[in-house]
Amino acid sequence: MRTIMLAVASVALLAGTAFADEQAIKLKPGAGLDKVEGNCAACHTFAYIPMNSVYLNKAGWTAEVTKMIKAYGAPIDDADANAIVEYLSKNYGS
């Protein structure tokens, strides 16, 4: 039992250190940012946005948002999805 408690404490300590080292991503201001913040951050970090922006144009961002909804089950309605795509393609499109 003591070994299990020590292992759990070690994992928690390591996870806390990893999260402490993560830098906050500040996205560019613009129309639709509220939809990105309200929908996307529920599942993943914003780091994916600037990381993928060098590869994605509007069609690419549309495909990414569609994948999040259809493949991963993100509960995003059509109006929010359109606003997210517009925001991402305008501010982070290649």
Domains, the chain: 24-92 (1.10.760.10)
**What 8-state DSSP symbol labels residue 61?**
H
Confidence of residue 22 (pLDDT cuts 50, 70, 90): low
Would you call 58 helix, strand, or coil by DSSP? Answer: helix
Confidence of residue 12 (pLDDT cuts 50, 70, 90): low
Predicted confidence at residue 94, as pLDDT, reads 86
Count the helices and strands in the chain (H runs, E runs): 5, 0
Predicted confidence at residue 21, as pLDDT, reads 53
Decide: 20 and 42 in contact? Cβ < 8 Å.
no
* Average pLDDT, integer, range 11-21: 53
Contacts of 54 (CB under 8 A, 6+ apart): 94
Name the residue with tokens 């990381």: 51
Amino acid present at 54: V
Instruction: For residue range 41-78, list pLDDT tens digits in order.
Output: 989 999 999 998 889 999 999 999 999 999 999 999 99
CA–CA separation, 73 and 82 (whole Å):
16
